[in-house]
C-alpha cells in the first residue's frame, strides 16, 4: 500500500474519502498536532500495516495473539503509550516511535497509537495487545509501592509480562461498589486470603498479573481495596470464555480459591480501592471512544472501496443513491464523533488530572455512548452494503463480519450506554448546582 504525503505533511494515507481523520486529508489542525505527531503516525502505520493487520484473521481464529508480538510492539516504540502521558521513561526507557522525545509525548500521541492500531479492524486483536496494560497497570503506576512498580511496571511495559484488570464479577458489572470477592487478613497479618470469581476479564487467559478489586472492609465503596495478584500464587485459575466477539483478547473467567497474597501486594491504602478504580475510568472510557470510532471509520473505508467495484443492476453500488445515502449517514456520525473526541483530548492535555476528573467525566461518558452507537450504526450499514460477504468469516468482508460481532464489547464494558448517558446528565446537574452555590 502506498502512502502519500505532501511537503507540509498535510496529506497522509490512502485518501479514501473519510477513511482517515480530517488532519490526514488536508485539514489544518495545528492546534492539536505538530511534527512529532506526524512522525509518530507514520511509524505507527508502517508497523501496523506490516506486523498486525495481515495477521488479524489468523490470530482471531486461533483465539490468541502470539506472545512474541508484545515485545515487538515495545521495540517499535509504542506499547507504553497506552498507559498515557507522561511517557514512563523510568520503566520503559526513552525510545518512542518516530523519534519522538519523551518530553514531547502527550495524549494526542496516545490517541494516534490506538487509532492507528484499531485500523487493523479487530477489536479482539487490539484488546489482546494493549487493553489489559491500559487498564491494569495504571493503578500500580499511580498508587503502588516503589517495590511493586519496580517488579511489575518494567516487564509489562516492555511486553515481557502481561497484566489485566479484574473487577467485573458474575453478580457485579457496572455496579462496582457491590462486588463480592473477599480478601481477609491472615491471623499473622502477613497475607490477604482472597476468595471469589471475576468474569469477562480481558487478557485474563494469559495474564501474568491481575490487578484485583476485593472487599477488605464493610459493604459499599468504602470497603474495596486493590491487590496485585500473580498467576504464580496457588489458587489462581483461569478459563477462556467463548464470547460472540473479541476472540483474540483472552477474555477469561478467573477464580481465586484461598489465594495467599502478601500484604506488600496491596495497591495503595486498604479500603481506598474504589477511588483508585475511578481514577482511571475517564482514561479507559476515552480509549474506548478512540477504538470504537476508528472501527466505525473502517466500516466506511471498506464499504466505500467495495461500493466502487461491486456492480448490481448494471452499475456500481456507489452509483445507487441509496448506497450513497448510507455512506453519508455513516460519515456524518463518525466525523462528528471524532471532532468531539479531539476537543475532549485537547482538554485532557491542558487540564490537570484533578480538573479533568471533575470537568470531563460527564462529557467522556456521553462521548462513549455516542461512539458505541455510531459504531453500531456503521457496522450494520456496512453489513448491508457488503451483503452476504458480511456474513462470512474471512475474505472481502472479513473486517465487517468481525466488527459487527464486536459492537457489544464497546456498548457494555467500561459503563454501559444507559449508565453513561445517565451519568453524563447527572454530572451536568452537579456542575450546575456547584456553580449556583458559588
Closest of 278, 418, 304, 285 to residue 357, by C-alpha = 278
Cell, residue 237: 485459575
pLDDT score, position 28: 83
- Pick the range with the lowest mean pLDDT from 1-10, 185-194, 195-204, 294-303: 1-10
Closest of 330, 414, 309, 427 to residue 369, by C-alpha = 414
Closest of 43, 38, 128 to residue 77, by C-alpha = 43
Biggest CA-to-CA distance, the chain: 81
Peptide bond before residue 333 is cis, with ω within 30 degrees of 0: no
Cell, residue 188: 499473622
Burial grade of 244 (CB within 10 A; 0-12, 13-18, 19 or more): exposed
What mean pLDDT comes out for the span 323-346?
A: 98
Higher pLDDT: 209 or 394? It is: 209
pLDDT score, position 4: 42
Share of residues in the chain with pLDDT > 70 (%): 98
H/E stretch holding 281 reads helix 281-309
Q: What is the pLDDT of residues 2-48, one digit of tens each?
A: 444 444 457 898 899 999 999 998 888 889 999 999 999 999 999 99
Closest of 379, 393, 383 to residue 61, by C-alpha = 393
pLDDT score, position 433: 85
What mean pLDDT comes out for the span 172-183?
A: 87
pLDDT score, position 5: 44
Ramachandran category for residue 322: left, alpha or beta (phi over 0 → left; psi -120 to 50 → alpha): alpha
Helix axes 107-118, 321-350, angle to 10 degrees: 150
The Cα–Cα gap between 38 and 310 comes to 34
Kindly state the DSSP code that residue 50 receives in the 8-state scheme. I
Angle made by CA atoms 137, 364, 96, in degrees to the nearest 5? 45
Closest of 216, 229, 221 to residue 270, by C-alpha = 216
Q: What is the pLDDT of residues 388-432, one digit of tens each?
A: 999 999 999 999 999 999 999 999 999 999 999 999 999 999 988
pLDDT score, position 435: 80
pLDDT score, position 260: 98
Does the structure show a pLDDT above 90 at 160?
A: yes
Cell, residue 14: 490512502
Does the structure show a pLDDT above 50 at 1?
A: no
What mean pLDDT comes out for the span 234-260?
A: 97
Rg (alpha carbons) of the chain, rounded to whole number = 22
H runs (alpha helix) in 106-216: 107-118, 123-126, 132-136, 138-143, 146-148, 154-157
SS3 state of residue 129: helix
pLDDT score, position 7: 44
pLDDT score, position 3: 44
Closest of 141, 261, 131 to residue 196, by C-alpha = 261
pLDDT score, position 125: 98
Q: What is the pLDDT of residues 266-292, one digit of tens each?
A: 999 999 999 999 999 999 999 999 999
Closest of 267, 269, 285 to residue 84, by C-alpha = 285
Query: pTM of this prediction?
Result: 0.95
What mean pLDDT comes out for the span 117-127?
A: 98
Q: pLDDT confidence of 438, banded at 50, 70, 90?
A: confident
Does the structure show a pLDDT above 50 at 376?
A: yes
H runs (alpha helix) in 351-360: 353-359
Question: What integer best gives the mean pLDDT of the chain?
Answer: 95
pLDDT score, position 2: 41
Share of residues in the chain with pLDDT > 90 (%): 92
The Cα–Cα gap between 297 and 299 comes to 5
Task: Give the up-direction half-sphere exposure of residue 333: CA atoms within 13 A in the CB hemisphere.
Answer: 27
Amino acid at each position: 500500500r502506498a502512502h502519500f504525503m505532501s511537503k507540509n505533511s498535510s496529506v497522509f494515507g490512502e485518501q479514501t474519502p473519510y477513511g482517515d481523520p480530517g488532519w490526514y486529508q488536508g485539514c489544518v489542525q495545528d492546534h492539536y498536532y505538530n511534527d512529532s505527531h506526524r512522525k509518530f503516525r507514520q511509524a505507527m502505520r508502517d508497523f501496523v500495516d506490516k506486523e498486525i493487520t495481515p495477521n488479524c484473521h489468523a490470530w482471531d481464529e486461533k483465539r490468541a495473539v502470539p506472545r512474541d508480538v508484545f515485545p515487538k510492539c515495545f521495540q517499535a516504540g509504542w506499547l507504553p503509550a497506552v498507559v498515557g502521558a507522561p511517557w514512563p521513561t523510568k520503566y520503559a526507557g526513552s525510545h518512542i516511535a518516530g523519534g519522538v522525545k519523551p518530553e514531547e509525548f502527550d495524549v494526542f500521541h496516545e490517541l494516534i497509537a490506538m487509532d492507528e492500531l484499531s485500523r487493523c479492524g479487530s477489536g479482539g486483536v487490539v484488546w489482546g495487545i494493549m487493553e489489559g496494560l491500559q487498564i491494569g497497570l495504571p493503578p500500580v503506576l499511580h498508587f503502588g509501592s516503589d517495590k511493586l512498580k519496580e517488579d511489575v511496571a518494567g516487564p509489562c511495559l516492555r511486553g515481557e509480562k502481561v497484566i489485566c484488570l479484574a473487577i467485573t464479577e458474575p453478580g457485579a458489572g457496572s455496579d462496582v461498589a457491590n462486588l463480592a470477592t473477599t480478601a481477609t487478613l491472615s491471623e499473622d497479618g502477613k497475607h490477604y486470603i482472597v476468595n471469589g470469581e471475576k468474569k469477562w476479564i480481558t487478557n485474563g487467559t494469559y495474564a501474568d498479573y491481575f490487578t484485583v478489586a476485593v472487599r477488605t472492609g464493610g459493604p459499599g465503596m468504602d470497603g474495596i481495596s486493590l491487590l496485585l495478584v500473580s498467576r504464580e500464587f496457588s489458587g489462581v485459575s483461569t478459563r477462556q470464555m467463548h464470547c460472540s466477539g473479541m476472540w483474540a483478547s483472552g477474555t477469561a473467567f478467573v477464580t481465586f480459591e484461598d489465594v495467599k497474597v502478601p500484604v506488600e501486594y496491596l495497591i495503595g491504602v486498604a479500603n481506598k480501592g474504589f477511588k483508585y478504580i475511578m481514577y482511571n475510568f475517564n482514561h479507559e472510557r476515552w480509549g474506548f471512544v478512540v477504538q470504537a470510532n476508528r472501527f466505525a471509520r473502517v466500516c466506511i473505508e471498506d464499504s466505500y472501496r467495495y461500493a466502487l467495484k461491486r456492480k448490481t443492476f448494471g452499475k456500481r453500488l456507489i452509483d445507487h443513491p441509496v448506497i450513497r445515502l448510507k455512506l453519508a449517514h455513516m460519515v456524518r456520525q463518525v466525523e462528528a464523533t471524532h471532532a468531539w473526541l479531539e476537543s475532549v483530548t485537547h482538554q485532557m492535555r491542558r487540564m490537570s488530572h484533578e480538573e479533568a476528573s471533575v470537568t470531563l467525566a460527564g462529557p467522556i461518558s456521553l462521548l462513549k455512548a455516542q461512539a458505541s452507537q455510531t459504531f453500531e450504526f456503521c457496522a450494520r450499514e456496512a453489513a448491508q452494503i457488503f451483503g452476504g460477504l458480511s456474513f462470512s468469516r474471512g475474505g472481502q468482508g472479513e473486517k465487517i463480519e468481525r466488527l459487527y460481532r464486536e459492537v457489544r464489547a464497546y456498548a457494555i464494558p467500561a459503563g454501559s450506554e444507559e449508565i453513561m448517558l445517565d451519568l453524563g446528565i447527572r454530572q451536568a446537574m452537579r456542575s450546575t448546582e456547584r456553580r449556583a452555590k458559588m
